[in-house]
Amino acid sequence: MLLTGPILAMALALAPATDSPKGLEGDWEGFLSPNPAIEVRLVLRIEKGTAGDWKARAESPDMKSQPAVSFDEVSLKDNQAVLIARQESREFRATLDADGTELNGEWIKGKTKTPITFRRAAGPVRPSDVWEGALQVNGGIKLRLAFHVRPDTGNGFRSTMDSPDQGAFGLKVTTTEISKQSLKFTIKNVGDFDGKLDESQAQAVGEWKQGGRSLPLTLKKVAEVTEVRRPQLPREPFPYRSEEVSYDSRARGVRIAGTLTIPSGAGPFPAALLITGSGSQDRDETLLGHKPFLVLADDLTRRGIAVLRVDDRGVGGSTGNPAEATTLDFVEDVLGGVDFLKAHAQIDSKRIGLIGHSEGGLIGPIVATRTNDVAFVVMMAGPGLPGDQIIAAQVGLILKAAGADPDKIQRSVQNQKRLLAIITSTTDAAQALTKLKAAQAELIAALPEAERKAAAAVDPSGSQLAALNSPWFRYFLTYDPRPTLAKVTCPILAINGANDLQVPCKENLEAIELAVKSGGKTAVVIREMTGLNHLFQTSKTGAPAEYGTIEETFAPDALKVIGEWVVEQTRRK
């Protein structure tokens, strides 16, 4: 992967306020930095509605693909402004200065508080200038880059860069230089672009340099970032009903929010609860503009299956701190979902199943051994082998797909195994982190000179090592799913793409089948899907760098396999 970075998720709505916010109406501009390398420009719009009520929203003019944040309450008292978006679990609390030109406060999501200052805009806030181009990388893959440039204090510029195909948005550009002849961008610890402007001043031909490599890149000035086509996204009107729901996890203090889609007609209906993969995911499992769980839920509901898809802990409307959780904590959240479906008047409590993707495929069987209320389990790219084996294989396969030479692949796999062994053999997390830092420094020093500088620049803050040593990752590395699979008593469908480089297909499907059959308690169906990747897209290589470049969200053949199997399992006998 070229870059990494979080996407700031936002959602829009309008609502009246109980206290008219005099002095707040208008457009306000601010810059949100969830970490030092990221900056997202936000515009806060507060205006009076036609009925005398008030509406407010925050949106990013440079990230139009991201929905805005809604506020259910807007109030101002003693210069203290409070804006609350209950559905999205967001708040903005600030002090209005004496001149009425600045709001200094905190952007709050759950327990996370990020300082931000909004300044009143003199007029309508305009989108930044956009310079857009694409890098041609290994395997014929194109990676788009988009630079957002706006005037700053004096004669300078304030810029950010997006790599939409990799899910990287709002990376701070360290320096921006624009003259009549050239266009230059530098991003500290990432890379830089140096291009020559043509006579139109709307195209720059140059090179992107990163980690010792140079790739040709042409940037063109465009009105806005090119929209990514996602033709499978369902569009209204739908031939079924949707309910916004929330319920308690079996874990104390965690509440889960989501959407339940219910087929038309009289119930009760069979139901499936969708379980996302690793990382903090929303209810649609949104990634790079794709919404695979929305596509899957739409397909299943049209087949007569009610579907519950939910936000993970700390995402959207769900509470809880994912940083402190492991797979077993997420099991408690899923059990809460099963309890919710059992109590729903439109759901047949005897026909509730689980469909999990990636880590979700790991969670489904665990839940099925903890309750008798699970009628079936679908494992979509679910692991059948211990986590340390999967990660080691994953590193080698992704490097091979990227065109790395065999020596580098072998060296990287061995280095990864050394780091993983430290984690699995050291129970104390603090001691493990100390050992990891020492081992990483030693491994980098031993690299060939051409690779050493690039490797040293990959994780200057140590955040990746910290992630490797997190409670979730430590648990994943040591968990072996096979004993649990042997205990499952409900039918299992295990489906994977032959091009999956994250959970290698053949080895994991074989392990799942052997484990389930060794228990002798249930039937298992194994399906290997030719040409599909980890996201069940039709792919060339299966490399993660392809995910965002593929228009297809979910291969129709995979939807058919899952849909027909679930319908068969839930048919009244």
Strands 269-275 and 347-357: parallel
**C-alpha distances out from residue 370 to 52, 353, 425, Å:** 53, 13, 29
Q: How far apart are CA 259 and CA 300, in angstroms?
A: 14
State the Cα–Cα distance between residues 482 and 248, nearest whole angstrom: 29
The pLDDT of residue 139 is 57
Q: Is 370 helix (H, G, I), strand (E, B) or coil?
A: helix
**CATH tag, 26-120:** 2.40.128
The domains of the chain are located at 26-120, 129-222, 240-385+480-570, 387-476
For 479-524, the three-class secondary structure string (H helix, E strand, C coil) is CCCHHHHCCCCCCEEEEEECCCCCCCHHHHHHHHHHHHHHHCCCCE
How far apart are the C-alpha atoms of 137 and 548, rounded to whole Å?
Answer: 14
Provide φ and ψ at 287, rounded to 5°: -150, 120
- pLDDT at res. 460: 63
CATH number of 240-385+480-570: 3.40.50.1820
Tell which phi-psi region holds residue 77, choosing left (phi > 0), alpha (psi between -120 and 50) or beta.
beta
The confidence score (pLDDT) of residue 347 equals 98
Determine if the peptide bond prior to 237 is cis (ω within 30°).
yes
Beta strands in 249-296 (DSSP E): 255-263, 269-275
Cα–Cα distance between 181 and 135 in angstroms, integer?
Answer: 22
User: Domain 129-222 is in which class?
Assistant: mainly beta
User: What was the pLDDT predicted at 140?
Assistant: 62
> What does the alpha-carbon distance between residue 160 and residue 113 come to, in Å, rounded to a whole number?
22
User: CA neighbours within 13 Å on the CB side: how many for 525?
Assistant: 18
Distance in angstroms (rounded) separating the CA atoms of residues 495 and 505? 9
**Comparing 26-120 with 129-222, is the CATH topology the same?**
yes
Alpha helices in 212-326 (DSSP H): 292-302
Q: Give, for all 573 residues of the chain, the pLDDT tens digit.
A: 333 333 333 222 323 333 445 578 889 999 999 888 889 999 999 887 676 677 889 988 887 766 778 888 888 888 999 998 876 678 899 999 988 999 999 998 766 789 999 999 887 788 889 999 998 876 567 788 999 999 887 778 999 999 887 777 889 999 999 999 999 999 988 899 999 999 999 999 999 998 778 899 999 999 888 878 899 999 989 999 999 999 999 999 999 999 999 999 998 999 999 999 998 899 999 888 899 999 999 999 999 999 999 999 988 889 999 988 999 999 999 999 999 999 999 999 999 999 999 999 999 999 999 999 999 999 999 999 999 999 999 989 988 887 888 988 998 899 889 999 999 999 998 999 999 999 988 988 888 877 777 676 666 667 778 888 899 999 999 999 999 999 999 999 999 999 999 999 999 999 999 999 999 999 999 999 999 999 999 999 999 888 888 999 999 999 999 999 999 999 976
Measuring CA to CA, how many Å separate 32 from each of 10, 58, 171? 13, 11, 12
Q: 524-529 and 73-77: which strand pairing? A: unpaired
Q: What is the Cα–Cα distance from 274 to 191, expressed in whole angstroms? A: 39
Three-state secondary structure along 69-131?
EECCEEEEECCEEEEEECCCCEEEEEEECCCCCEEEEEEEECCEEEEEEEEECCCCCCCCEEE
Residue 312 CB contacts under 8 Å (≥ 6 apart), including other chains: 276, 280, 281, 282, 318, 322, 330, 333
